[in-house]
Amino acid sequence: MKVSKAQAAENREGIVEAAARLYRQKGLDGVGVAEITRDAGLTHGGLYRHFESKDALAREACLRAFEWTIVPLDGLAPPDADGAEEASTARFQAMVRSYLSAGHRDHPGEGCPAAALATDAARAGPEMSEVFAQGVERNIQRFMRVVPGEAAGKRSETIAILSSMVGALVLARATAAGNSMLSEEILATLIAQLAPDGA
């Protein structure tokens, strides 16, 4: 039975969404085509009608994963001129706390792909590295909107902060099952460094 163009587009979208979530949850090598299509509610054979290869799907899913939303970052209106500095600091602190939360740590499939897939992307070859670099650049641009400070050094500051947060999240995830207190300490320490109470 032939499906309509609209249904085919919806099926493709479902595959990309499922892959973006499952890859972040289990890694690029931790999930197969059958699991992705099953999660999307389709049959295994349907994937290759939409993608030339599993690698092509992985690249598109990785790009899609970088559209993840961190509520304090994407959901707040930009500060107005009155109290702009205070509002900017509050937005930044909310973003740091949300990113370094136990919820983000415990649900990688819904969160930042940089923390979930960086090692996999580094091993997956130049095409995936290029896609990942595009996503990281997108994250830098998004995070720059809330990092306080002067425009002159903002990109460097954003890269340093984002790299620190990604590293802390990776370490917190890696230690959570084996030493939950250490995992919590890693998150709390970086929050205290980047977004201290009363700052």
List the domain boundaries for the chain: 5-65, 71-194
Q: How confident is the model at residue 80 (pLDDT cuts 50, 70, 90)?
A: low
Q: Is residue 198 predicted with pLDDT exceeding 60?
A: no
Please state, in angstroms and rounded to a whole number, the distance separating the CA atoms of residues 195 and 189. Answer: 10
Specify the pLDDT at position 73.
55
Confidence of residue 194 (pLDDT cuts 50, 70, 90): very high
Task: Give the per-residue pLDDT at 196.
Answer: 87
d(Cα 128, Cα 126) in Å, to the nearest integer?
A: 6
Residue 88: CA atoms inside 13 Å, Cβ hemisphere, count?
14
Give me the CATH code for the 5-65 domain, please. Answer: 1.10.10.60
CA distance 131 to 38: 25
Max avg pLDDT among 66-70, 153-157, 188-192: 188-192
Q: What is the pLDDT of residue 53?
A: 85
Within 10 angstroms of residue 72's Cβ, the number of other Cβ atoms is 18
Phi and psi at residue 58, to the nearest 5° = -60, -40
**What pLDDT is recorded for position 146?**
87
**Taking 70 as the threshold, does the pLDDT of residue 89 lie above it?**
yes
DSSP 32: -
DSSP label at residue 78: P
| Residues 116, 177: Cα–Cα separation, whole Å | 16
Mean predicted lDDT score pLDDT of the chain: 87
Question: How far is CA 153 from each of CA 27, 88, 182, rounded to the nearest angstrom?
Answer: 34, 16, 33
Give the per-residue pLDDT at 74: 54
- Give the pLDDT score at 150: 80
Least confident of 75-79, 109-113, 143-147: 75-79
In whole angstroms, give the CA distance from residue 62 to residue 158: 22
In the chain, pLDDT over 90 holds for what percent of residues? Answer: 61
Is 71-194 a CATH 1.10.357.10 domain? yes
Euclidean distance between CA atoms 78 and 69, whole angstroms: 16
Is the pLDDT assigned to residue 84 strictly greater than 70? Answer: no
> How confident is the model at residue 75, as a pLDDT?
52
